[in-house]
Chains A and B, each alone.
Chain A
Amino acid sequence: MWNVFVDSIIGLAKKSGFSNLTPLHLVMIAISCFFIFLAIKYKFEPLLLLPIAFGMLLANLPLGNLMHPVIWDNIHDLQFADLFNSDKFGLLDILYLGVKLGVYPPLIFLGVGAMTDFGPLIANPKSLILGAAAQIGIFFTFFGAMMLGFTQQEAGAIAIIGGADGPTAIFTTTKLAPHLLGPIALAAYSYMALVPVIQPPIMKLMTTKKERCIVMEQLRPVSRLEKILFPIIVAVVVSLVVPDATPLVGMLMLGNLFRESGVVARLSETSQNALINIITLFLGVSVGATASADKLAQPGYGAQAFKIIILGMFAFAICTATGVLFGKILNVISGGKVNPLIGSAGVSAVPMAARVSQKVGQEANPGNFLLMHAMGPNVAGVIGSAVAAGVLISMLGGK
């Protein structure tokens, strides 16, 4: 009787997570707890970082069978029937289908579009050039990643971190290098959260006090007709030139049309609240779950993740610098009417980057008010990074 009891306990212990816990699991659990701490204590992009970190935690609890990222990496021709029939298919695997099939990022863009007012951009179309300028760093980073030994596809996925746009980074990575999704998503969202820390020193370094003090003219009012036509024009132009950017830009503009048309208030409301919240939750948890100990155990994966973190920072810094540089050029061309600080907002990260421009500008001149002027390049950056992603996907052979 006693032996049976002991055997049962031993059998149970062997089937528990403790017996399967490895040092790598512990490392990943510690890392996920650190990200949870950052999200809660310091509010680093908590809406995404918290589900990502907890997804990572769940995926690293042995025998939980919630997610199998290694299996996903080895699937080249999606054989869903085999997957569904196997016993290795957990809850997070099912949620991950939305990432793998490229469904979540465009849906998030739908919500972003419904939340975005393109008025400042329409009022000052020249700010689109700043949205383009801030993408130059992406292509510099591509070069850096290639030099560090990444493949073309991997380099493209890493470079897009510089766009400072989480859904775009995830979309591009799933198309080009899905095996790097975990570290790239974490790097992208971490750096977006660190915009107020990373950008100001670069902005101050590249501008003079006199430039930072420039007060810009008030933007003109934008008519409703302009706001309605804008998403249609952008969707058509961008999709015709870069078809691979259509899923992102198309949904972004659809959401914006919901907002500006004024005739589908319910759809607009749902897109910018319930839908985007649900998708954010699914996206965060399933992307976080791709960072598992099994993957960390793969030779060279840790080193790759470290390089991605470094390259991501490099990409972000260069994109900020090129944005400010073009802000300075516009300032010269306009005869001193453009404050170069708004150029840094071209890196997307809406609306954080625009708020940084406002803050740095107001430090130099307390009476200065750049927020609305910076929103133009800021939303232009969303379009610019989506176009850059489309170019990378198109050129580097993503499917």
Chain B
Amino acid sequence: MSLQEKLTISGNVAFVGIVVVFLVLTSLILVVSIFGFFAKTGSGKGKKGKEEKDADVDYVSGEEAEDSDAEDSDTQVLEATDESEEDEVGLIAAIMAAITVAMGSVSGFHISSIRRSKRNTTSWNTAGRDEYHATRL
């Protein structure tokens, strides 16, 4: 087989192959995107999103943290955004206590944010989060 023949065959296979692979996967992008759009619309995303947002409990640090007593800077517990403030404060105290017991000291740690995990998380997300925690601790 001459060099020219080899180049012709290679070019043909490469061109057709790349075009077909991209064509198929781009078609899938379109189909999955369209379906995802309808799925989101059908499930009433807006309402659900609002509920999830309400369920999130944020304990914001930042500027508010700086305003609070410097001596208590390790355990700053700031504004709760819903009615069960006392319960949430208790939750933070429990988490802080657990950290203290595990690490032996409170120095260097402060709780800046607590956010409820989504209950419909996938197993991949759960595995990833566990691994992340493992590497961080």
Contacts and interface: CB of A to CB of B under 8 A. Distances in A.
A392 B17 contact: yes
Contacts, number: 119
Interface stretch (A18-26, A47-55, A237-245): A237-245
B21 A371 contact: no
Nearest to A136: B18
B28 A234 contact: yes
Contacts of B39: 223, 225-226
Contact of B20 (A225, A371, A387): A387
A140 B13 contact: no
B4 to A, nearest CB: 12
A147 interface: yes
Interface string B61-93: 000000000000000000000000000000000
B13 A129 contact: no
Contact of B27 (A147, A237, A362, A392): A237
A66 interface: no
A241 B23 contact: yes
Nearest to B52: A221
Given A156-B13, A237-B24, A122 B125 contact: no
Interface in B19-37: 20-29, 31-33, 35-36
Interface residues of A, number: 52
A165 B123 CA distance: 23
Contacts of A234: 28
A233 B31 CA distance: 8
Nearest to A381: B25
B46 to A, nearest CB: 13
Interface in B39-65: 39-40, 43
B120 interface: yes
B25 A129 contact: yes
Nearest to A121: B32
B118 interface: yes
A284 interface: no
A117 to B, nearest CB: 5
Interface residues of B, number: 38
A117 B128 contact: no
Contact of B28 (A120, A143, A147, A233): A233
Interface string A208-225: 000000000000111101
A129 to B, nearest CB: 6
Contact of A143 (B14, B22, B118): B14
A128 interface: yes
Contacts of A139: 13-14, 17-18
B14 to A, nearest CB: 4
Contacts of B23: 241
B16 A383 contact: no
Given A120-B124, A146-B9, 20 more contacts: A117-B122, A117-B124, A119-B124, A121-B32, A125-B29, A126-B29, A128-B26, A128-B28, A131-B25, A142-B14, A143-B11, A146-B6, A223-B39, A226-B36, A237-B24, A369-B128, A371-B132, A384-B21, A392-B13, A392-B17
User: When A and B form their complex, which 4 residue pairs have the shortest distance between CB atoms, in order from nearest?
Assistant: A139-B14, A143-B10, A132-B25, A125-B32
20 contacts: A119-B124, A125-B32, A125-B33, A128-B25, A129-B22, A132-B22, A132-B26, A142-B14, A147-B6, A152-B13, A221-B121, A222-B122, A223-B39, A226-B39, A238-B28, A242-B20, A372-B125, A383-B25, A383-B28, A395-B17
Interface of B: 6, 9-11, 13-14, 16-18, 20-29, 31-33, 35-36, 39-40, 43, 118, 120-125, 128, 131-132, 135
